[in-house]
Structure 1
Amino acid sequence: MRKLIALFGATFLLINLLSKAYAQADDGALAIMVPGGGTYSRPISTDSEEAQAFFDQGIRMAWGFYFPESIASYQEAARLDPDSPMPHWGIAHAAGPNPNSRYQGLPDDPQGAGLAAIRRAMELAGNGSDLERDLINATYVLYNKDAVPDDRERDFAFLAAMRELHDKYPDDADIATVFGEAYMNTTRWDYWEADGAAKPGTAEGKAALEAAMALEHDHPGANHLYIHLMEGSDQPELAMPAAQKLEGSLPISGHMVHMPGHIYLRVGEYEKAILSNERSQIVDDQFAEIWGDTNFPLIGTYPLSHKIHKPHALDFVRYANMLQGNYEDSSEAAYRNSGQGMGALRGSNKNTAHAWMMDKVFGKWDKIHASNAENKELADTPYLKGMWAYVMGSAHAAMGHIGPAEAELAIIREQISADGVNDSGVGPTPADHVLSLAMHALLGEIEQAKGNLDGAILHFGHAVEFQDNLSYTEPPDWSQSVRLYLGAALLEAGQAVEAEEVYRKDLEWNQRNGWTTFGLYQALEAQGKDQEAIIVNRQFEELWRNADVELERSRL
């Protein structure tokens, strides 16, 4: 894998060198034409080939969620053709809300740039086609706070406008994609019921994106959004074709190179998830070399760009390596992301906790004890105090130190109700929910260490309930499935049938991961299902080929 990554890096070094020869921004230019930016094009009303080229770069970057780069490209298109309305539509689209900004509760159009752009597009709409005028007018609905002050009501008004537009122009892939995106804005990452059934409206949004992909198989926006729509479903494999298409659609866009990893993670293709996210970081570095200090307008709703994307990709590397049982690589990625390792990035509350959790997941009890003083000092929020108490308490419980483990448990309880516990921005799930999960998980570990298996099973069951109700994000806000602990406790209690059910349930979501597969093997063996156990053990050995730890049960 490292050789493949090195080869990929060499390829983009060549792109970088080639770009130096011709991608320099002209005096007064607001963007650079970036090589390797894909081929998708939407012809607009303009006589300027250069304006068309920068519009196309803008829409590709927007569909790749690199919005500052997109806005800069649209601004350059508008500079090159001041009379064309569509570059201004593009700025409004890129500056506006999207499913991620809605999920994170970010304020709409904080500097008014999107509203100004769509108003300018409306002023110039007479220079465009009927379709362009209709699209501009529909997009204005999203910005018309005077008519609809509430953003949720405005999202539904925009959805209705795009539904009407999709009905009028059924052969336009971008309109179908914007329609699908409009649906996703209304539901804000809440597309599926717990049993996998589609929530109201999901089928319509899914159909819109599928219509776009039928019209344009490689459409960067439709394939991108389809991955996000399907990754939280019980059929993530339906988005595998979209993942494979995105691998080459925008080879210089780090987020698009990363995106297949969302599906690879869900279907258990962990090596592919790691590779796509290692590549993504290389691409972002190469893009930074090409773009340099060229115009970078942070004027929109969602600021994702090549400058801040790398931690997300690195988190995938951490999580996918953990699921393969590889401590060295998962820990390296985690500590780098937390701001504590070699080549460290600026850390966050969640990334700091993820680094600690890698030591806990892999049973590095001596390391945890040795770093107690340092990490207690780092734990400067209720969330971090509670998470370090969980990690430290787990180490104590594993070593039979019941009293100290219970003292750490008391700290978690205190932090759950501490002032400002949910103010630290740890992720989409409120921190007190995550800490409640930690409390029950540690209670289960303590009770199991005491030999009280009924108590352990009870509390691990409660922890599973909290984990099942985490807000959706990838990688998840909790670093390891608690079903691994519940299953191990059930096996120790002689309840192999129940353990098998737990492990099979876990594999529905965490497909092809070795931890769960090993637990399933043990549950089958304990029931005397020897032939099935042999098959599952062979699967485990294949899945564990990159691991650097040995298992005696489904958790360490």
Structure 2
Amino acid sequence: MQDKCKWLIVLTLLLTACTESEPETLDERPLEATQGEQVLAPIVPGSGTYSRPTSITVSEAQDFFDQGLRLAWGFYFPESIASYQEAARLDPDNPMPHWGQAHAMGPNPNSRYAMMPDDPQGEGRKAIKRAMKLIENADPLEKEIIRAMYVLYDKAGIPDNHARDRAYLAAMRQLNKTHPDDPDIAALYAAAYMSIGKWDYWDKDGNPKDETLPVAEALEHIIRQNKSHPGVLHLHIHLIEASLEPERALVSADALEATLPIGGHVVHMPAHIYVRVGQYQKAIDSNVRSQEVDKKFAEIWGENHFPNIGTYPLSHKIHSGHALDFIRYSATVQGNYAVAIDAANRVAENIHPEHMISRGQKGTAAVWLVQKIFGKWDDILAMEPAHSNTPYLNGIWAYAKGSAHLGKGDLAAAKAQLTILKGIADAPNADEYRVGATPASAVLRLAAHGLKGEVQMAEGDLAGAIASFESGVAIEDQNNYTEPPDWAQPMRHYLGAALLKAGEVMKAEEVYRRDLRWNQNNGWSLLGMHQALKAQGKLDEAQLYYDKWQEAWVYADTEITGSHL
């Protein structure tokens, strides 16, 4: 209680004190003030219709403000910043375009998740100081919103980053309490909380952490009013996707695209829910459209001003790889090798050189993993992959190559690759480079248990294989949440098959049922479930799962006889 009171006192003092703006130095002048009559952004057809009434007096400036707001909620930040800058050029005395720039330039849940530095060029702080200087031209609610945003940037008043985040969250929580029907305030409140949580809103058992439920209720209060707001729907998807009830955000997933149909990230975002509820073809379709609209966006934007000066650089120029990764993952679950390998290859071919030793590693390795999942042993063994020689890539290559040797009947060669993989996984430099949400060492240990289990299966050691696969499952269950997952093929597919072969059919049923709880309508586990039930004589339920498997496998180009190849 004392901590809570302390926060309220600090917040009250800050919101009162920050009505006085600091003098603007030469380098704090807004870019638009130095551009003369140069137009800083185009109006983008298809950028949605949501409009926030403001104190802006120039109608064209209001149009650009609204576009900037919609693009910010769609996480296309350079385009958003440019739109806000154009609004400020057209109405230089209004503070809201500068508030918008500070919002678009600042931290967000994705930038914090990716561990990017906040406001690296200091432009967001300059923008909110400009808004403070013009604050008397704002209406009363706008003044509250501007002052709240100032708290996020007030390093002088609150030097500690965590304390400043908490103070900003307290400010937005209070604003949401006072104005619960305002969709932008609800979204700002959600973003403030989610930026602190960094995608970690639920525990491994599906229980909400910290302020997750109140934030969800704030967003769902807006959704129940049928207000199609890009920020509310977008953040609701991210907040709910890692829960055990992803269906809770299906309404948001189905409604989001229409709020910003030209924004590739927004068009893609419903897939975060579709893959969680087992609607894999819808996930593929949304990501195909995502790439198409980004190309249209590029044609419209052309060579216009593109201020990549904020915290998070996501834009229509660099989103394609994420969309392709969703296609790769969804097609793999559907049993469609052609679509999966095409998407994986396209990601690998377009990895920026600067990312080869960071997040781009997953794109390189995805090609090998797709081939492994679909049993393309000859293709793997014929490869001489050129890559950045990191522990993660060397380890995943040994994993794929070891499986390929087993597939071709070369047990000795497979065991040699297992030895290599174990050495890499246990080495002190395994986490030298950040690959994804889960540490590379954990992924490599998981791979080592998986390959060891495959080797033991080939040797006829079923008990040993089951133990190895169980160890892999235990690691996989502790992986950090991300979509698509950091591990490409659920280890339960191997554990369930080994249990079936050992005659432990009830345990196999339990394994497949658990996998289907998280990976709904997953064709590989649906077939395994059918086999486990049939082996127990549960013929009616077995037929039900066979029918589900047939439906899930309708897009497949691969025949399977079990839950893995």
Q: Corresponding residue for 1:327?
A: 337
Alignment of 1:356 onto 2:368: yes
Alignment of 1:31 onto 2:41: yes
- Residue deviations 1:306-326, cap 9 Å, x none? 000000000011011000000
Indicate if the aligned counterparts of 1:174 and 1:212 stay in contact, CA closer than 8 A.
no
Aligned partner (choices 375, 380, 395) of residue 368 of structure 1: 380
Gaps of 5+ in 2: 1-34
Q: Which amino acid aligns with 1:448?
A: M
SS in 2 for 1:243: helix
Matches within 5 A, 1:331-346: 331-339=341-349
Indicate if the aligned counterparts of 1:336 and 1:345 stay in contact, CA closer than 8 A.
no
Instruction: Give the Å deviation of 1:200.
Output: 2.0
Matches within 5 A, 1:49-448: 49-215=59-225, 217-339=227-349, 348-371=360-383, 374-375=384-385, 377-378=386-387, 380-418=389-427, 420-448=429-457
Instruction: Give the Å deviation of 1:26.
Output: 11
Q: Which moved more, 1:58-67 or 1:146-155?
A: 146-155
Q: Which moved more, 1:154-163 or 1:33-42?
A: 154-163
Instruction: Give the Å deviation of 1:358.
Output: 0.2
Instruction: Give the Å deviation of 1:420.
Output: 4.1
Q: Corresponding residue for 1:20?
A: none
Indicate if the aligned counterparts of 1:34 and 1:290 stay in contact, CA closer than 8 A.
yes
- Whole-Å Cα distance in 1 between the matches of residues 462 and 313 of structure 2? 48
Q: Which moved more, 1:200-209 or 1:227-236?
A: 200-209
- Residue deviations 1:70-98, cap 9 Å, x none? 00000000000010000000000011111
- Whole-Å Cα distance in 1 between the matches of residues 299 and 145 of structure 2? 35
Classify 1:35/1:346 alpha carbon distance in 2 versus 1 (closer, same or farther; 3 Å): farther
Classify 1:119/1:26 alpha carbon distance in 2 versus 1 (closer, same or farther; 3 Å): closer
Classify 1:80/1:398 alpha carbon distance in 2 versus 1 (closer, same or farther; 3 Å): same
Instruction: Give the Å deviation of 1:181.
Output: 1.2
- Whole-Å Cα distance in 1 between the matches of residues 154 and 467 of structure 2? 52
Indicate if the aligned counterparts of 2:505 and 2:536 stay in contact, CA closer than 8 A.
yes
What is the count of residue pairs matched by the alignment? 527
Instruction: Give the Å deviation of 1:470.
Output: 1.2
- Residue deviations 1:212-234, cap 9 Å, x none? 32345201100000001111011
Indicate if the aligned counterparts of 2:240 and 2:246 stay in contact, CA closer than 8 A.
yes
Q: Corresponding residue for 2:546?
A: 537
SS in 1 for 2:444: helix
- Whole-Å Cα distance in 1 between the matches of residues 198 and 346 of structure 2? 30
SS in 1 for 2:203: coil
Instruction: Give the Å deviation of 1:340.
Output: 7.7
Q: Corresponding residue for 2:463?
A: 454
SS in 2 for 1:195: coil
SS in 2 for 1:213: helix
Instruction: Give the Å deviation of 1:490.
Output: 0.4
Alignment of 1:489 onto 2:504: no
- Whole-Å Cα distance in 2 between the matches of residues 522 and 349 of structure 1? 36
Classify 1:462/1:64 alpha carbon distance in 2 versus 1 (closer, same or farther; 3 Å): same
Identical amino acids, percent of aligned pairs:
55
Aligned partner (choices 496, 503, 512) of residue 521 of structure 2: 512
Q: Which moved more, 1:203-212 or 1:72-81?
A: 203-212
- Whole-Å Cα distance in 1 between the matches of residues 209 and 355 of structure 2? 37
Q: Which moved more, 1:82-91 or 1:177-186?
A: 177-186
- Whole-Å Cα distance in 2 between the matches of residues 338 and 332 of structure 1? 10
- Whole-Å Cα distance in 2 between the matches of residues 550 and 476 of structure 1? 24
Q: Which amino acid aligns with 1:210?
A: E
Instruction: Give the Å deviation of 1:198.
Output: 1.0
Q: Corresponding residue for 2:15?
A: none
- Residue deviations 1:430-450, cap 9 Å, x none? 111111111111111111111
- Whole-Å Cα distance in 2 between the matches of residues 333 and 403 of structure 1? 33
Indicate if the aligned counterparts of 2:74 and 2:263 stay in contact, CA closer than 8 A.
yes
Instruction: Give the Å deviation of 1:400.
Output: 3.0
- Whole-Å Cα distance in 2 between the matches of residues 155 and 441 of structure 1? 41
Instruction: Give the Å deviation of 1:418.
Output: 4.0
Q: Which amino acid aligns with 1:113?
A: E
Indicate if the aligned counterparts of 1:173 and 1:215 stay in contact, CA closer than 8 A.
no
Q: Corresponding residue for 1:12?
A: none
Instruction: Give the Å deviation of 1:166.
Output: 1.3
Q: Which amino acid aligns with 2:447?
A: A
SS in 2 for 1:251: coil
Indicate if the aligned counterparts of 1:244 and 1:260 stay in contact, CA closer than 8 A.
yes
Matches within 5 A, 1:472-483: 472-483=481-492
- Whole-Å Cα distance in 1 between the matches of residues 214 and 142 of structure 2? 24
- Whole-Å Cα distance in 2 between the matches of residues 445 and 218 of structure 1? 50
Instruction: Give the Å deviation of 1:153.
Output: 2.3
Indicate if the aligned counterparts of 1:37 and 1:251 stay in contact, CA closer than 8 A.
yes
Indicate if the aligned counterparts of 2:355 and 2:361 stay in contact, CA closer than 8 A.
no
Indicate if the aligned counterparts of 2:204 and 2:478 stay in contact, CA closer than 8 A.
no
Q: Which moved more, 1:346-355 or 1:454-463?
A: 346-355
Instruction: Give the Å deviation of 1:170.
Output: 2.3
Indicate if the aligned counterparts of 2:116 and 2:312 stay in contact, CA closer than 8 A.
yes
Instruction: Give the Å deviation of 1:128.
Output: 0.2
Indicate if the aligned counterparts of 1:69 and 1:305 stay in contact, CA closer than 8 A.
yes
Q: Which moved more, 1:410-419 or 1:250-259?
A: 410-419
- Residue deviations 1:89-108, cap 9 Å, x none? 00000111111111111101
Indicate if the aligned counterparts of 1:349 and 1:424 stay in contact, CA closer than 8 A.
no
- Whole-Å Cα distance in 2 between the matches of residues 317 and 31 of structure 1? 32
Instruction: Give the Å deviation of 1:176.
Output: 1.2
- Whole-Å Cα distance in 1 between the matches of residues 160 and 355 of structure 2? 35
- Whole-Å Cα distance in 2 between the matches of residues 243 and 132 of structure 1? 30
- Whole-Å Cα distance in 2 between the matches of residues 345 and 511 of structure 1? 36
Gaps of 5+ in 1: 1-24
Q: Which amino acid aligns with 2:382?
A: A
Instruction: Give the Å deviation of 1:417.
Output: 4.0
SS in 1 for 2:158: coil
Q: Which amino acid aligns with 1:554?
A: S
SS in 1 for 2:452: helix
- Whole-Å Cα distance in 1 between the matches of residues 125 and 70 of structure 2? 21
Q: Corresponding residue for 1:15?
A: none
Cα root mean square deviation, aligned: 1.8
Classify 1:54/1:386 alpha carbon distance in 2 versus 1 (closer, same or farther; 3 Å): same
Indicate if the aligned counterparts of 1:268 and 1:511 stay in contact, CA closer than 8 A.
yes
Instruction: Give the Å deviation of 1:401.
Output: 2.0
